[in-house]
Copies of this chain bind each other. A is one copy, B any other.
Amino acid sequence: MARTTGSDGEKTEAAVREAAVNLIARQGYEAMSMRQLAAEVGVQAAALYRYFPTKEELLFTLMREHMEGLGAAWERARPADAEPRRRLSAYVRNHIAFHIERRHATHVSNMELRSLSPERLTHILRLRTAYEKELRAILRDGADSGAFSIDDVGLTAMALIQMMTGVIVWFRPDERLSIAEVTATYLSMTMRLVGAKVESTEERHVHEHAQLRA
């Protein structure tokens, strides 16, 4: 056989990406074979090389697009307002929403960094650092203006990101808590963690609704 009826390059490439994200998230990059990925897509392994020159390039593409998507999402979500509490609130909401929606891709981007060549690793880390820098700026502004009470800005930023991204490890959309409830609780924890002095009306409203369990 050769070309199959109804075959379409764009559809196949999209199917490869999706299957790859799921397989790598579940088994790990090294444990996923190109043959297994091809079988998942319903194609022979050789066909994959029409879309990605190597296995690592496939991994890199998935990671790069995920990180670029995260940055782009924050660009859209970033409030014009300069008020630190509102900016931090927007950052937390965007971060959690983005990562819950893309659990598998996040897993891949966080766990498979060591499978990248040095140059590609640097590329991904640069994207990540730029995104984290935004959080540090918010924390610093808030600390300077007295809106937050923070011991160490860099350390607090890492702690917050670690805490928020950790959601994808245990969160399952069909269980006890909804995305909105989880987000509200994490917002509340974040604000306390940075020692946010006074809350805006909007946020106090959210916190009240976050009293899920006494």
New A-B contacts (11) at CB < 8 Å, excluding given A28-B114, A30-B30: A111-B111, A143-B214, A151-B212, A151-B213, A152-B213, A155-B186, A158-B169, A159-B186, A160-B163, A163-B163, A192-B192
Contact-residue size bin, chain A (C-beta under 8 Å from the other chain) = 35 or more
CB within 8 Å of B: which of A120-177?
Answer: 143, 151-153, 155-156, 158-163, 165-166, 169-170, 177
Residue of B nearest to A155 (CB): B185
CB of A210 within 8 Å of the partner chain: yes
Integer count of this chain's copies in the complex:
2
CB of A26 within 8 Å of the partner chain: yes
Cβ-defined partner of A114 (8 Å) among B27, B163, B165: B27
Cβ-defined partner of A162 (8 Å) among B27, B30, B114, B166: B166
CB of A211 within 8 Å of the partner chain: yes
